[in-house]
Structure 1
């Protein structure tokens, strides 16, 4: 696209944004995706090297109308984002299916099983999984309609208020900033399963530079690595589920028939209702990262086709990868097994998956599962840099962080966001300090409930989006994809998230098997305290200009919106429904869930 055309398009966007401000609605929507100006081809090694250097130069988003408000300016910048759409369908599908599978499932489920018992484990994961399904459906609807940079982070400021957008964006950035060094240390500890003589600093350095190289290649590097790692995790869970049925029937070398014995002795529940409440946080941690599908929407080649399918596949992850595998774990391992709490949170010896295999007398698989845990940890660290860098860029675009953090080069890399993530990632070298445990306990406390807050805001943003459409006389017929659970699902998700926060407040005050203490409370609830301080800080910063809640009739439903022909969308929906109705029941079932 020439610079003249780019300037003209930018002018149209800004005029439309001002019209939306004045009237509350707009008669037209515009496609605002702008590609960078292509450089003339160069020849030879010198030319390729120059292209490489030029790739780090900042992408020019054009001039902005100085009369735009802060929120309108943020909407325009998000719509013009130079992030490159290099994630293919297979990347998004695999990220959706296996992206969140990690130590929360493989290892964290062990402490949850010990605290609450197998019955609490299944109930908590089912409830959190149902909430996640509704949340991801809402996120899919928003991301398809508005495939803009920052996804739900920028849409929260648009549909709820800049105050909530400020809090949730910094909350999300803080989560992923802390996750990277934590996961790198976890990776070094996992290696000690095979070799404990080499210093943790050596392994941390290797993993650190590996993650750095992956992200230098941009979103395509992230997508390819996640595709491979997620595929390995999916195969591991499916394989274990099949093996678990065999072991439960007594098929192991030293195994005997178990059936439902452990649900009767020692029992299905431990510590009663309080034990169930304590499992909710572990379950939420296990699902953390599910929202990355929406965050990647601005870098997906065909979001209106890819994201609906990806969000539907969350059902399979919840059903097969969590509920089925954890039910099998509950059948194979009693919650009284001392090994569930005898090791650190990243040690394969504490994994109920590994314990069930050891009980059956299988010698080789524990090492294989330790490798799977290592892969999961590296996958999460890689996702942390991706998520954090995009979040930091979105913060800068909305005026919530220094402007230079919004720097995105011509290859679509948010360089300063990546640099900040990698800089904070150097905390991983605390692994050689004697205060490592104490330091990382408080770092984890900062991000402990971050995912619950994020999912709450996604549900609230969807509710406000639908409310704004109704207030401005718009219909869901103009949406190419609508949430399967609708607004009711978002309300249920929001309420359940709030109930989980209440339950965790109770557990933080009165811990299971312990006495109340200020230290325990802040280690479990510090994230919420920080979020409240962020909200207060925003109000003090903006003072009279602070916007705490937006009126539905004044919400911008235009800028960054995918340009659609409503009649054509309606016709396509009817044609697709007629085609599906003409197919056999099993095909209709497949299309409903996939």
Structure 2
């Protein structure tokens, strides 16, 4: 088959010629482009990219929900569920890495849908992803106000005051340069990583009897606690943890979102993807193991039913280990984790909205980028939606019922994004092969193809379709709608746009695999300071530390 030259005009070049173009490879070129309001800047280094993805996943799901998982299915099923989800994340990240390295496009999740399959798919993925993170931002505001109440009661200062302060801070950070955002996220994520490392060390010391001791009448940490009931609830218990674990890992795809603003994406994106997977799997698996061996599954505080921040399993392990200030330390870390997740969420959703605007699927003014490379109006619009969702959550406004529906809708859309990534990878490879291109030209090749994307699709669909199984026995209409309201929502978005815009599924030979490659062709030899440093010979202890940091 004759190779595709890429010289014929494509759908994207006809509709918006600068939509995916990244002009030049120098900082001067990028600054000039950004000053006209047309382009973002590539100022994120490898360490920023790694921590952005890590910061989006290590949050309340690990610090709080991990205890609930053990209470639901026991420590054994928790290990199984988190390991299974970890393998799926690896498969999904491998797919994303191949595409993001070949075409490092900001807001890549919806951009790839538009480019590789159907503009209506990109429209649906973009709006779903933006909505998901916008509402998630509101949940972080709610959680932050609750955590502050650990030190300052709500009677002394209402929670909405702290939420307002935090949203202003996060908005200000995202309105600064992308490098300022990356640097802030790097240090906040680093604090979280350090806290988890310290927790793992303290946990093993407690299990080994070196520090602390259990309360009188309680089982000894280790096998006695783990063996109380490692597999609780049968299939239903395992499936419930499977769902929780999936939600906890959401945010790993932020590497693809940030690839369009990263230096040397051909090298830094694959590096970040490989490192993030092992770090997340290490932290989650070891953390769940330690909690399951330190705190009995039937400890009433594990379920966290009352929302009391003192019931964090991290806090309880520190206290049992004899570290009296563990509660204050961990609550401070959890607050940082929440702010970090909100920071990443605001960044991801604003870039998705910017891409929608450049595609013509959102108001044109949202595509404006200031001279610092920041999509100002996208950041402000996302912050506004986050504030509105937070207001809906207040008890004075309908007791938060509307907010619960929004949260249910947002919590499922992360899986839609993963489905979109896996499906787009299948289409990308099919188009790449159909156009006669060589696999040797790919900067990063996913070794799991085609099993990886197929496995991701299967796991995510099982989660989406099975999450409301408890609503059928006995049937509960409210639980049913809450679990499955996402599905008709995405169908309406896709087919609604397809009908309105008259879009068509792209032929594999018409898929544009070239626009946006100009940057890669001219910048592959360019190295930032992080890349230069990493290429130098390092001592064994530095290499060991690099596995974690």
Q: So what's the TM-score if we normalise by structure 2?
A: 0.86
Instruction: Pick closer, same or farther for the CA change 1:354–1:108 going to 2, 3 Å.
Output: same
Q: Distance in 2 between matches of 1:485 and 1:258?
A: 39
Q: Distance in 2 between matches of 1:556 and 1:495?
A: 27
Verify the 8 A CA contact 1:315 1:593 in the aligned structure 2: no
The structural deviation recorded for 1:144 is: 1.1
Q: Give CA deviations for 1:121-147 in whole Å, capped at 9, x if unaligned.
A: 111111111111111111111111111
Verify the 8 A CA contact 1:126 1:323 in the aligned structure 2: yes
Residue 553 in structure 1 maps to residue 517 in structure 2: no
Residue 394 in structure 1 maps to residue 355 in structure 2: yes
Instruction: Pick closer, same or farther for the CA change 1:324–1:36 going to 2, 3 Å.
Output: closer
Which residue of 179, 196, 199 corresponds with 1:220? 179
Instruction: Pick closer, same or farther for the CA change 1:55–1:475 going to 2, 3 Å.
Output: closer
Verify the 8 A CA contact 2:70 2:78 in the aligned structure 1: yes
Q: Distance in 2 between matches of 1:233 and 1:284?
A: 20
Verify the 8 A CA contact 1:145 1:562 in the aligned structure 2: no
Residue 270 in structure 1 maps to residue 232 in structure 2: yes
After superposition, residues 224-239 of structure 1 pair within 5 angstroms as 224-239=183-198
Specify the SS of the correspondent of 1:477.
helix
| Residue in 1 that maps onto 2:98 | 141
Larger C-alpha radius of gyration, 1 or 2? 1
Q: Distance in 1 between matches of 2:386 and 2:545?
A: 42
After superposition, residues 250-261 of structure 1 pair within 5 angstroms as 250-255=209-214, 257-261=220-224
Instruction: Pick closer, same or farther for the CA change 1:17–1:209 going to 2, 3 Å.
Output: farther
After superposition, residues 149-160 of structure 1 pair within 5 angstroms as 149-160=106-117
Q: Distance in 2 between matches of 1:188 and 1:278?
A: 28
The structural deviation recorded for 1:211 is: 1.0
| Residue in 1 that maps onto 2:490 | 531
- CA RMSD after TM alignment: 3.3
Residue 86 in structure 1 maps to residue 47 in structure 2: no
Verify the 8 A CA contact 1:140 1:307 in the aligned structure 2: yes
| Residue in 2 that maps onto 1:33 | 23
Q: Give CA deviations for 1:550-580 in whole Å, capped at 9, x if unaligned.
A: 33222111111257789xx9xxxxxxxxxx9
The structural deviation recorded for 1:593 is: 12
After superposition, residues 305-384 of structure 1 pair within 5 angstroms as 305-345=267-307, 347-384=308-345
| Residue in 2 that maps onto 1:425 | 386
Instruction: Pick closer, same or farther for the CA change 1:182–1:557 going to 2, 3 Å.
Output: same
Specify the SS of the correspondent of 1:449.
helix
| Residue in 1 that maps onto 2:203 | 244
Report how many residues are paired. Answer: 517
| Residue in 2 that maps onto 1:292 | 254
Using CA pairs below 8 Å that are at least 6 residues apart, which structure has the higher relative contact order?
A: 2
Q: Distance in 2 between matches of 1:176 and 1:275?
A: 28
Verify the 8 A CA contact 2:124 2:490 in the aligned structure 1: yes
Q: Distance in 2 between matches of 1:84 and 1:58?
A: 12
Q: Distance in 1 between matches of 2:283 and 2:116?
A: 33
Verify the 8 A CA contact 1:173 1:388 in the aligned structure 2: yes
Residue 468 in structure 1 maps to residue 431 in structure 2: yes
Q: So what's the TM-score if we normalise by structure 1?
A: 0.80
